[in-house]
Amino acid sequence: MANDPLHQFQIKPIVDMFSVGGMDFSFTNSSLFMVAAAGTVSAILFAASRSASLVPSRMQSVGELWYEFIANMVRQTMGSEGMKFFPFVFTVFSFVLMSNLLGMFPYFFTVTSHVVVTAALAVFIIAMVVVVGLAKHGLHFFKLFVPSGVPIAILPFISLIEIISFLSRPVSLSLRLFGNMMAGHIVLKVFTGFVVSLGALGIGGILGALFPLAMGVALTAFEFLVAFLQAFVFAILTCVYLNDALHPGH
């Protein structure tokens, strides 16, 4: 069972709570790591802002770097008007990044490796785009699906394609994050599993096990890159989609 690469994604209830209408509301290992991700982010940012000074301490530099990274991203994609959404984008980015990074610890659970979590985030983001777009532009927002200057004969087909294109946004947003995190963890587990099984074969096996071991080291580094990159991509696409709703005449 220890070599099963899918074992790490199992959800286990930690505290049995209640269930409403067949839905289980137990506190699981997934919930635990969601709380841990939110708690870690809060702790780091609290430590960063505890003693603010003109010459920043190490922790304060981390906080400032973090803030400026997201603030620049929001300003570049949405303009300074988009800073209204900075707290939201910052929260999404921090939560996804910390979940991905916490998942890199051995025996830790990766929250973002479950499609339910990433889909919930993506659906929430798209719902927000629709609500903001409708609030700002009213029914004019639906012109998003009706391009101007298209002959009336092919307009229904074009609109259909536009609608599918819009509906595919939450799907691609959630599948990308989920797929990257799950695939990365499986590949890492499979390769490092080879080290154990080859090592049991005696001296030749131990020599042979050096290759998957090197692969495991390289993949670990690669996974850190992916963990950061996917959080970044998730956040920047949130900005891009919100920008569509915010000022369409960009």
Partner 1 sequence: MADHGKQQGGEKTGSERVTAGPDKRFSEISARIAAERKEAEAAQGQTGRRTAAVGNTWGSAFRLGSEFVAAVLVGGGLGYLIDRLLGTLPFGLIILLLAGFAAGILNMARTAGRAPKAGERLNDGPDGPTD
Contact residues for partner 1 (CB under 8 A)? 55, 136-138, 140-141, 143-144, 147-149, 157, 160-162, 164-169, 171-172, 175-176, 179-180, 225, 229-230, 232-233, 236-237, 243-245, 247-250
Least Å from the CB of residue 28 to partner 1: 27
Please calculate the CA angle 197-198-204 and round it to the nearest 5 degrees: 155
Least Å from the CB of residue 10 to partner 1: 26
Least Å from the CB of residue 110 to partner 1: 18
- Which CB sits closer to partner 1, 42 or 165? 165
Number of Cβ within 10 Å of residue 137's Cβ equals 16
Least Å from the CB of residue 88 to partner 1: 19
- Which CB sits closer to partner 1, 43 or 167? 167
Least Å from the CB of residue 137 to partner 1: 5
- Which CB sits closer to partner 1, 21 or 149? 149
* Coil, helix or strand at residue 181: helix
23: enclosing H helix or E strand: strand 23-24
Least Å from the CB of residue 240 to partner 1: 8
Question: What tokens appear for 148 in the block?
Answer: 């101007």
Closest-CA residue to 121 (of 32, 235, 240): 235
Strand 13-15 and strand 23-24: the pairing is unpaired
Q: What sign has the CA pseudo-torsion 151, 154, 159, 162?
A: negative
What is the DSSP secondary structure assignment for residue 114, as one 8-state letter? S
Closest-CA residue to 70 (of 236, 205, 195): 236
* Coil, helix or strand at residue 107: coil
- Which CB sits closer to partner 1, 171 or 214? 171
- Which CB sits closer to partner 1, 95 or 141? 141
- Which CB sits closer to partner 1, 17 or 65? 65
Cα dihedral 31, 37, 40, 41 in deg (nearest 10): -130
